[in-house]
Amino acid sequence: MNQPKLSITAFACLLLVAAASASAQVSGAAAAAGQGSVLQQAETVAKRVAQATALEFSGYLRSGFYSAPSGVQAGGFALGGDLQKFRLGNEGDNYFELSIGKKFDVEGTKWGVYYMPAVYNGNTSTKQIYADISGLSFAPEATFWGGQRYHRIQDIHIVDNWLMEDGDNYGAGVDGIGVGSAKLNVAIYTDGNADNKNSSSNNAKRINLQLRDLATNSGGKLSLTAAAINGDFAQGSQGGALGLLHNQEDFLIKGMNNSFFLQASNGHASLSGKFYNLDSSTTTTLAPAGGGPLFTTTTVSSQMGANQARIADAINWQLGKWGGQALVGYQTLSPDSGPKVKDISLGGRVSYGVAANVKLLGELGLTSRDVDGQSTQLLNKGTVAVAFAPNTDFWSRPEFRIYATTANWNDAAGSANAGGFGANGRSNVSTFGVQIEAWW
């Protein structure tokens, strides 16, 4: 997939703006560095340029060496549910995203522009491209934004899933509206983004509400989400979603935090409040049988909606040398037509510091999928690893890991995934690898 021209143009504009804001100060920096060695002059100029551009960088990376038996995938052993890919030693992929941004102060207001390209296994895409402004006299605490952006509240890291988020499409919104002790975010979206170029045939639109961090009890905060979707759908209802998240600090004991999620959706809304199952269109160029100019034809593949529900609880802790995250989750999907699917997930990851910059990791995931009228699918995955990091805390990154993974599954899971990990009647696999994960 080629990088969209829009993204390249935005990136170039961002760099030009940064360069323009720096140019006026570079000459002054060079003059100020007139005394001293060439190296000192260069260092002075570099510092002035960095201060002048004031670019902000953040990002995420995972990559490494992955090994599996011949003809077997190196990762991705999961039954398909949102909470079922326990990720330690189970990714087998390479992913990189880099956010580049710059903030400006203009007559008491602040505005920023941001761009985030990504590369996944060699394919490029655009994750974010937007601008925002804040500090307006009539709403000094609010931030107004437009473009394509992440609009996230919280994830469960060990299964690599943002349970509470909207975004990922072109839209606009206002963040930070004060509602008592909480903050209200309001956003509206179309079904287009920088990669699909508004190619959906649904003309779908949605509104999302996030009420964040409402104080409920000592150490406890509540976040609520809602979404409403409208579009030209060939199948199913329009759709909506509701979500609840309660975070509790020092849950049961000091140093342990708990997150409880309760979510439901219907129609063409996902549980997090984004779009679910938009129709897809394929355009084909054809030549008339008797000759003549080429012509195109478009085929639309309609998708059904679904009723969905999820309840999940995640615990995080750092108790001395011991750290970790554990999860229990139950999720259902009832499509407008077809069998109901029930997914269960139970598992966790622990870390233990054994020496300066060295920790041991262990992860176990037990998952099941029950499809009406079919045998229950079962898959278990376990990983052990030694990791090197700046310190031995669970969240310390970058983390360089050497791991070994084993996964096994029953016949029902193998049959349902015969085109993947269950090919050729396989019922188990062992893999190993070396991976680095970093965020900044």
- The residue written with tokens 């997090």 in the block is 272
Q: What is the set of domains in the chain, with CATH numbers? A: 1-53 (no CATH), 58-232+239-278+305-439 (2.40.170.10)
Distance CA 440, CA 429 (A): 33
Q: Are 74 and 428 in contact (CB under 8 A)?
A: no
Band of pLDDT at residue 287, cut at 50, 70 and 90: confident
235 CB-contact burial (10 Å; exposed 0-12 / middle 13-18 / buried 19+)? middle
138-166 per-position pLDDT tens digit: 999 999 999 999 999 999 999 999 999 99
Q: pTM (2 decimals)?
A: 0.86
pLDDT digits (tens, 9 = 90+) for 306-329: 999 999 999 999 999 999 999 999
Contacts of 9 (CB under 8 A, 6+ apart): none
Indicate the DSSP class of residue 11. Answer: H
The residue that leads in pLDDT, 42 or 11, is 42
- Sign of torsion over alpha carbons 390, 391, 394, 400: positive
Over the stretch 399-420, which tens digit does the pLDDT of each residue have?
999 999 999 999 999 999 999 9
Per-residue tokens: 329: 């989750």
Lowest mean pLDDT, pick from 102-111, 189-198, 356-365, 398-407:
189-198
Helices 38-53 and 5-32: crossing angle, nearest 10°? 130
